[in-house]
C-alpha cells in the first residue's frame, strides 16, 4: 500500500501507524507468533498492584476478594481480544498464589 494512503487511513481511523509490535488501547498488536515479551507489561502491572497490598494485614476472605475483583480485572480486556501464552497465564496465576499465601 502506498505511503500516502497509509497515512490517510491512519488519520481517518485515529490509529497510529507504527512498526510492529506496538501497544494500542492496552493490547499488544503484533504479527506472527505470540511472544511472551509482548505480554510482560501486563504481568508487571499485576505484580506492582500486589506489592502495594502485601504489606497490609488482610484476612483470607479479603485477599480472595482482591484477587477476584481487583487483580483479575487487569487482564480481562486483553483476554477478550487475544489468548495469552500459557507461560504468561502461569506467571499471573503464580502472582495470585504468592499474594494469597
Reported as a single tens digit per residue, the pLDDT across 6-41 is: 788 778 877 667 778 877 777 788 888 888 888 888
CA–CA gap between residue 75 and residue 45 (Å, rounded): 10
Confidence at residue 71, expressed as pLDDT on a 0 to 100 scale:
74
- CB contact at 8 A, 30 and 82: no
Residue in 92, 77, 73 with CA at minimum distance from that of residue 27: 77
Residue in 67, 65, 58 with CA at minimum distance from that of residue 96: 67
Confidence at residue 1, expressed as pLDDT on a 0 to 100 scale:
60
Give the number of other CB atoms < 10 A from CB of residue 29: 16
Does an H or E element contain 48, and which?
A: helix 36-54
What is the residue extent of each domain of the chain? 31-100
Confidence at residue 22, expressed as pLDDT on a 0 to 100 scale:
79
Q: How confident is the model at residue 101 (pLDDT cuts 50, 70, 90)?
A: confident
Reported as a single tens digit per residue, the pLDDT across 60-83 is: 898 998 888 877 787 777 778 788
Q: Lowest-confidence range among 2-11, 26-35, 39-48, 87-96?
A: 2-11
CA–CA gap between residue 34 and residue 52 (Å, rounded): 30
Amino acid at each position: 500500500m502506498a505511503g500516502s494512503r497509509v497515512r490517510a487511513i491512519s488519520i481517518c481511523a485515529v490509529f497510529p501507524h507504527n512498526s510492529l509490535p506496538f501497544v494500542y488501547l492496552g493490547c499488544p498488536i503484533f504479527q506472527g507468533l505470540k511472544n511472551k515479551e509482548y505480554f510482560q507489561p501486563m504481568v508487571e502491572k499485576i505484580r506492582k498492584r500486589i506489592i502495594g497490598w502485601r504489606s497490609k494485614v488482610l484476612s483470607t476472605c479479603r485477599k480472595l476478594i482482591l484477587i477476584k475483583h481487583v487483580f483479575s480485572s487487569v487482564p480481562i480486556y486483553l483476554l477478550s481480544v487475544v489468548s495469552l501464552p500459557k507461560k504468561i497465564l502461569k506467571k499471573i496465576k503464580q502472582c495470585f498464589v504468592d499474594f494469597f499465601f
